[in-house]
Amino acid sequence: MPREEADRKCCACTVEWAMWGNMNAFYAGLFIFVGSVVAASIPEIAIDGQFPTNVGSALRWINIFIGLFVMLVEYPLSARRSKKTAVERPGQRYIAPILHNLRFVGSNYIIRFMLYMIISVPVFFVLSSIFGGLCLLCACACYFAAALNGESWKAPTLGWGPGKTVTKKGPQIKEIPKAPTEPPPRPPPQAREGLMAPPSGSPPGYP
Amino acid sequence: MSLLPSGWIINEFPKWLVFGTWFLLNIVLFIYQFNLFQTSNTQFYMRFYLKEALAFARGPALPINFNVILILLPVCRNIISVIRGCTRVVPRSIRRVLDKNLTFHKAIAWMLVVSSTMHVVAHYYNYERLARYSPPNSLPPGDQATSIPTQALPFNGSVGQLNPIHACFITYAGVTGHIITLVLFLMITSSVTYIRRSFFEVFWYTHQLFIVFLVGLGIHQYGRLLPVFRSASQLQDVGLGVCAYAPTSSENYTRFCTNLNFAPAGPTSWMFLLCGLLIYGLERILRVVRGFYSVVIIKVVQHPSNTIEIQMRRKGFHAEAGQYVFVNCPSVAWFEWHPFTLTSAPEEDYFSVHIRILGDWTRGIADKLGMNRNDFQQSWELPSIYIDGPFGTASEDAFEHPVALLVGAGIGVTPFASVLKSLYYRITEEGSGLVLKKLYFVWICPETYAFEWFANLFQELEQQLIDKGIDDFLTSWIYLTRGWKDNQAFYLMLNEGRVTAEHATDDMVDAITGLRAETTFGRPEWEKIFEKVALAHPNTDVGVFFCGPSVLSHNLHKQCNAFTKKGGSAGARFYYNKENF
């Protein structure tokens, strides 16, 4: 059987752009971080005993934090809309509550799209983080598509999540038994049938 | 008994040999290129600025080129199918390695990712160092090399005066490097399993960017940025260090170093690319030529559970059991080719596919074929269909083992439909010289209703075998893992799983599927099944064929190796074959 035939099992479901956006953004954050660390790791040269106070070196440090920030925001995966398979990154339940408590700031993808657009500006001014910046722009495009598609970030129900209590199932009872009509103490059912058949006389053990 | 378990030798060794050779070649190429740039005189002056980072940037370049040739090969499905088809020339062990083509494709892709990452990070590092230390600045304090000629550096050592964006976007290397790395990034992120499985279209369309990747890589070195020192011989007597350490005003410096001969390194990637592209071009031509033949639809059958069967004929079409084809219907979608397993036997005079209606495309083709029409559809109203294939998979080999154990899980039973059909023709044919003497079939599915067409087919086969009096040929077990109700189980328990068949008075059939095969609830106990097979067939080659999810595949693979080892030299030998899934 061709692999694609198995891959296409879910061809009926619509594309959730945010899933791909998350993938792109998380690794964009990683590349921004790595690129900026590479740039910041090379020492500046003191000319005439004075270090250059250029904007470039400040930007390198800012970009390191931007990279870390994006990775942190993107670490927890959202719950799937079609609730089919929930994929989670290890240990994401410690970060997901933060995003969840931010309400619409954390869940709205148009806000995320705009935030990343703004954040990516300084990234393009340091050469070694340009590649990460390009990846982040791709992620932005995905999030924009996700926002147009009406998607939003939802806390996953596995591990941590407000949905956990909702999904918990109690014992299911199909029929509610009728309330007893007689006050206790009651005879065992067999004895009671015997009681009903001959209407006269009192059964043994019944006052 | 050898040192290594024999199960490992027959099942793993060919695969790991190919994988190991490839991996070792990558390492060797990296070390060769790394060493070249670390020691050669041609980069002597550049190394003062870049230290080891130069070799780290150039080292992965050779593995990248090497892997770019290779990455296209495993996806040349027509060529692979042709090689697989030459059963007389190509031994079984190599055919089994060919079945791993997509695993190799992935491994090669990951090697590309690793070497590209190293290349990109090292080049960023190189750029930052050059930007900071090249003239008018100087090397860090403590470094005595103060008089290196500027021609030894890219841009004549003027990188420091350029702004980063400018430096990145005025060179071929900068522009193409960023584009192809971005393309690689998008291709990788969209082919991660959970995205590929969920949104196949995103994966498929993003993967078409490989053209951009190849073209970009071809012109990546066209800018000739790297200066190569060409005239080491003239400095033989005084040493190359003169032009780095000697004061610019000294006699030696003015004599030897004022007009050194530097020439840029020429592009080389295109040579590697061409090899891969030639083979891939051949593949595409094969696809086009094969696609040109028109297909005649001879019958469309509607099965229960939203499944349709299309029976077709094409001139010169011949498929082996268990192969698959790509189907294209221009009136539904022009460019979409969808893979389907063939469900007809090679002995039949037509070929057929079963299509389950799940998505837009399958619904579209069902409507075109007149599924929802009440009146009769004329044959000229049928849409034209194009077929690419057939492509080979492992189940062709099922007949070449004395004993075969077929395991189909879920949707993975489809390839076995044609195998079982073909088996029937081969048994009944006199003097066919069939190697296969005994067949075990295990069918695991969540619920049978989606595969009613398969159950019907299987039921017919059973009946036909009984009619011919060879009912001991096939032993089958069916496992229902989900989708059975409590009362169903209760009913089964009461009847001890068997009810009298309506059509055969003295025979018992299964209560759920109506088959002679026994239905069991829950998952199969593989140890018991393997033990049974191993005991029944000592000193025999048993081919195990599986199609289904990978978790089960790993388990079966382990069982094959374990029971082959357990049996020793006189026991059954289990050959594991997995269908791509």
Three-class secondary structure assignment of B61-119: HHHHHHHHHHHHHHHCHHHHHHHHHCCCCCCHHHHHHHCCHHHHHHHHHHHHHHHHHHH
Which pLDDT band holds residue A64 (cuts at 50, 70, 90)?
very high
For residue B237, the model assigns a pLDDT of 66
| Residue A2 contacts residue B395 (beta carbons within 8 Å) | no
In the three-class reduction of DSSP (H, G, I as helix; E, B as strand; rest coil), residue B543 is classed as: strand
Give how far the C-alpha of residue B345 lies from the chain's centroid of Cα atoms, to the nearest Å: 26
pLDDT of residue B495 exceeding 60, the answer is no
Kind and range of the H or E run holding B518: strand B518-521
Do the Cβ atoms of A130 and B547 come within 8 Å?
A: no
For residue B204, the model assigns a pLDDT of 84
Contacts with B, A 31-90, CB within 8 Å: 34-35, 38-39, 41-47, 85, 87
Smallest CA–CA separation between A13 and chain B, in Å? 8
| Residue B370 contacts residue B402 (beta carbons within 8 Å) | no
Query: With an 8 Å Cβ cutoff, is B234 touching chain A?
Result: no
Give how far the C-alpha of residue A43 lies from the chain's centroid of Cα atoms, to the nearest Å: 40
Do the Cβ atoms of A20 and B195 come within 8 Å?
A: yes
For residue A167, the model assigns a pLDDT of 41
Kindly state the DSSP code that residue B235 receives in the 8-state scheme.
G
Report how far residue B162's alpha carbon sits from residue B172's, in angstroms, rounded to the nearest whole number.
16
Cβ burial B130-148 (10 Å sphere, 16+ → b, else e): bbbbbeeeebeeeeeeebb
Query: With an 8 Å Cβ cutoff, is B182 touching chain A?
Result: yes
For residue B499, the model assigns a pLDDT of 47
For residue B162, the model assigns a pLDDT of 66
Do the Cβ atoms of B202 and A7 come within 8 Å?
A: no
Adjacent-strand bridge partners of B355: B308
Residue range B321-350, pLDDT digits in tens: 778 888 888 888 777 778 888 888 888 888
Which of A52 and B471 is assigned the larger pLDDT? B471
SS3 sequence, B330-355? CCCCCCCCEEEEECCCCCCCCEEEEE
For residue A96, the model assigns a pLDDT of 83
Chain B positions in Cβ-Cβ contact with residue A59 (cut-off 8 Å): none
Kind and range of the H or E run holding B307: strand B307-314
Question: Which of A2, A124, A127 shows the shortest C-beta gap to B324?
Answer: A2
pLDDT of residue A77 exceeding 70, the answer is yes
Of residues B58, B404, B416, the one with CA closest to residue B220:
B58
SS3 sequence, chain A? CCHHHHHHHHCCCCCCHHHHHHHHHHHHHHHHHHHHHHHHHCCCCCECCECCCCHHHHHHHHHHHHHHHHHHHHCCCCCCCCCCCCCCCCCHHHCHHHHHHCCHHHHEHHHHHHHHHHHHHHHCCCHHHHHHHHHHHHHHHHHHHHHHCCCECCCCCCCCCCHHHHHCCCCCCCCCCCCCCCCCCCCCHHHHHHHHCCCCCCCCCCC
Question: Which of A6, A134, A135 shows the shortest C-beta gap to B411?
Answer: A6
Chain A positions in Cβ-Cβ contact with residue B129 (cut-off 8 Å): 42
Q: Where does B410-500 show beta strands of DSSP type E?
A: 438-445, 474-480, 498-500
Which pLDDT band holds residue B358 (cuts at 50, 70, 90)?
confident
The overall average pLDDT reported for chain B is: 78
Do the Cβ atoms of A19 and B140 come within 8 Å?
A: no
Domains in chain B (CATH in brackets) are 8-282 (no CATH), 295-391 (2.40.30.10), 394-578 (3.40.50.80)
State which residue of chain A sits closest to B393, comparing Cα positions. Answer: A1
C-alpha distances (whole Å) from B481 to each of A10, B517, B521, B581 are 21, 16, 6, 19
Query: With an 8 Å Cβ cutoff, is B202 touching chain A?
Result: yes
Report how far residue A119's alpha carbon sits from residue A25's, in angstroms, rounded to the nearest whole number.
12
Query: With an 8 Å Cβ cutoff, is A23 touching chain B?
Result: yes
Residue range A109-146, pLDDT digits in tens: 999 999 999 999 999 888 889 999 999 999 999 999 99
Chain B positions in Cβ-Cβ contact with residue A15 (cut-off 8 Å): 199, 201-202
Reading the block at residue B219, the tokens are 């012109």
Which pLDDT band holds residue A205 (cuts at 50, 70, 90)?
very low
Do the Cβ atoms of B131 and A12 come within 8 Å?
A: no
Residue range A151-192, pLDDT digits in tens: 888 877 644 544 444 444 444 555 666 666 666 666 665 555
Lowest mean pLDDT among A82-91, B176-185, B529-538: A82-91
pLDDT of residue B566 exceeding 80, the answer is no
Q: A175 phi and psi, to 5 degrees? A: -120, 135
Torsion on CA atoms A171, A175, A177, A178, rounded to nearest 10 = 150
Question: Which of B138, B339, B359 shows the shortest C-beta gap to A12?
Answer: B359
Sheet holding B307-314, edge to edge: B295-303, B307-314, B351-356
Do the Cβ atoms of B133 and A45 come within 8 Å?
A: yes
C-alpha distances (whole Å) from A185 to each of A57, A203, A205, A206, B416 are 87, 14, 11, 9, 66
Report how far residue A29's alpha carbon sits from residue B301's, in angstroms, rounded to the nearest whole number.
53
Which of B494 and B307 is assigned the larger pLDDT? B307
Residue range A2-57, pLDDT digits in tens: 555 555 444 445 678 888 999 999 999 999 999 999 988 887 765 555 555 567 77
Q: B229 phi and psi, to 5 degrees? A: -80, 120
Smallest CA–CA separation between A38 and chain B, in Å? 6
Report how far residue A100's alpha carbon sits from residue B426's, in angstroms, rounded to the nearest whole number.
63
Question: Which of A1, A42, A134 shows the shortest C-beta gap to B415?
Answer: A1
State which residue of chain B sits closest to A82, comparing Cα positions. Answer: B198
Torsion on CA atoms B211, B217, B220, B222, rounded to nearest 10 = -80
Residue range B85-98, pLDDT digits in tens: 776 677 777 777 88
For residue A46, the model assigns a pLDDT of 57
Question: Which of B195, B197, B579 shows the shortest C-beta gap to A1?
Answer: B579
Residue range B105-133, pLDDT digits in tens: 999 999 999 999 999 999 888 888 887 77
